[in-house]
Amino acid sequence: MAAVVVPVLFLLLLGVCGGLVALYLRHRRLQNNFTAFANSHYNSRLGSAIFSSGDDLGETIKILLKCRPAMQTSRGGKSIKIY
């Protein structure tokens, strides 16, 4: 019985570890791609990012990426952070 259970559990453990490594690598790749994309559209002089809307009219959508300080408010004795 133990001769069957131990190898099966070992294979399951290897499968779970392999899945976690794959998810970690995918997350890191997506994060790096997004960072490169955002940096390529960021204008440090304006403090904002400009993205083209994709149509032929040449209109652009301006998205502000400025950091705002978190405001704290108290509601019913609980502290809430608002970003």
Q: What per-residue string of b and e applies to 12-47 under the rule 16 or more CB within 10 Å gives b?
A: eeeeeeeeeeeeeeeeeeeeeeeeeeeeeeeeeeee
Give the tens place of pLDDT for each residue, 35-56: 888 888 777 777 777 766 555 5
Spell out where the chain has E strands.
42-43, 48-52, 60-64, 71-75, 78-82
Identity of residue 44:
S
Q: Would you list the domain boundaries of the chain?
A: 12-66
pLDDT at 5: 93
Q: pLDDT digit string (tens) for 2-37?
A: 889 999 999 999 999 999 999 999 999 999 998 888
Residue 65: the pLDDT is 47
What confidence score (pLDDT) does residue 30 get?
94
Q: How far apart are CA 59 and CA 61, in angstroms?
A: 7
